[in-house]
């Protein structure tokens, strides 16, 4: 599989199919394998690009903490679109991948044809709420430092993963999962492309965030997948894919 060289950090990615480009970004501590159930039905009509965040899966795990950040992740996404020859793409992701998709749109709206935001949130306006989130991220990093891969949780999207060790996950928690400011949440009312906001009905931690994003993003389409939790694409793949394909079918021609 190809690797993208980002100033010495190798990023693993895969390209499946041909057609308009769809970039799928996974959640924290997962990998691109969580999207296998979406690649299969979409690759006949789309160029589906999946990848592993730095510090995850088959990508590199840099030792330098400064090599993990929102800005570098957005840069990785831009470089991926350039590498596959996509002037624009439907940019999509779950959890941290959804947040990074919003961050990408805030920085490079000219490269985004549409957004799909799955079981995710836009960050925090209040410094106190962000500080609580960041403390949780730091605790996760410290747990990986102490216990290694034994610190991985047992969520469905994580069960599919294979990481070489826990150093990258610790670095990503401190530099990518933790948030510096309110830039992303403040960008919601500036989103100017068709947007699907989807959540599993049982994903209680993200129901309010989904409602907030759907209200703030002009013309957003909201979808709730019944009997699904945080990994809605894994819990109810047929219903998840149905919602995604219905949204994609309504997009103007690329």
User: What domains can be seen in the chain, in order of their start residue?
Assistant: 3-249 (3.40.50.1820)
Query: Which H, E and C letters describe 169-192, residue by residue?
Result: HHHHHHHHHCCCCCHHHHCHHHCC
* Res 2: pLDDT: 82
- DSSP annotation of 58 reads T
The CA distance from 39 to 22, in Å, is: 10
Q: For the whole model, what pTM was predicted?
A: 0.96
Sheet holding 21-25, edge to edge: 3-6, 9-16, 47-51, 21-25, 89-94, 112-118, 195-200, 221-225
* Res 154: pLDDT: 81
Polymer length of the chain = 254
Which of 58, 64, 65 lies closest to 4, judged by CA? 58
If phi over 0 gives left and psi between -120 and 50 gives alpha, with beta otherwise, what is residue 19? left
Cα-Cα-Cα-Cα torsion 130, 133, 135, 137, nearest 10 degrees, comes to -130
Torsion over CA: 253, 3, 196, 17 (sign) = positive
Cβ(73)–Cβ(100) under 8 Å? yes
Cβ(225)–Cβ(233) under 8 Å? no
* pLDDT in 10s for each residue of the chain, 254 residues: 789 999 999 999 999 999 999 999 999 999 999 999 999 999 999 999 999 999 999 999 999 999 999 999 999 999 999 999 999 999 999 999 999 999 999 999 999 999 999 999 999 999 999 999 999 999 999 999 999 999 998 888 887 789 999 999 999 999 999 999 999 999 999 999 999 999 999 999 999 999 999 999 999 999 999 999 999 999 999 999 999 999 999 998 87
* Res 153: pLDDT: 85
């Amino acid at each position: 599989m190809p690797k993208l060289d980002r100033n010495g950090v190798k990023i693993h990615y895969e390209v499946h199919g041909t057609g308009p480009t769809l970039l799928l970004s996974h959640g924290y501590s997962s990998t691109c394998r969580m999207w296998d159930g979406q690649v299969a039905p979409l690759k006949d009509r789309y160029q589906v690009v999946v990848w592993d965040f730095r510090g995850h899966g088959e990508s590199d795990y840099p030792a330098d903490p400064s090599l993990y950040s929102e800005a570098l992740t957005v840069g990785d996404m831009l470089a991926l679109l350039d590498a596959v020859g996509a002037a624009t793409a439907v940019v999509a992701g779950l959890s941290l991948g959804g947040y990074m998709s919003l961050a990408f749109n805030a920085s490079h709206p000219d490269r985004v044809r549409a957004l799909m935001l799955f079981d995710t949130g836009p960050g925090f306006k209040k410094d106190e709420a962000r500080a609580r989130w960041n403390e949780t991220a730091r605790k996760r990093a410290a747990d990986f430092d102490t216990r290694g891969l034994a610190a991985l949780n047992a969520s469905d999207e994580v069960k599919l993963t294979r990481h070489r060790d826990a150093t990258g996950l610790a670095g990503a928690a401190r530099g990518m999962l933790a948030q510096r400011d309110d830039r992303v949440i403040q960008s919601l009312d500036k989103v100017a492309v068709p947007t699907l906001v989807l959540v599993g009905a049982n994903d209680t931690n993200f129901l309010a965030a989904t409602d907030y994003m759907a209200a703030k993003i002009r013309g957003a389409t909201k979808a709730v997948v019944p009997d699904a939790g945080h990994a809605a694409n894994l819990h109810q793949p047929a219903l998840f894919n149905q919602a995604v394909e219905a949204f994609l079918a309504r997009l103007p021609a690329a």
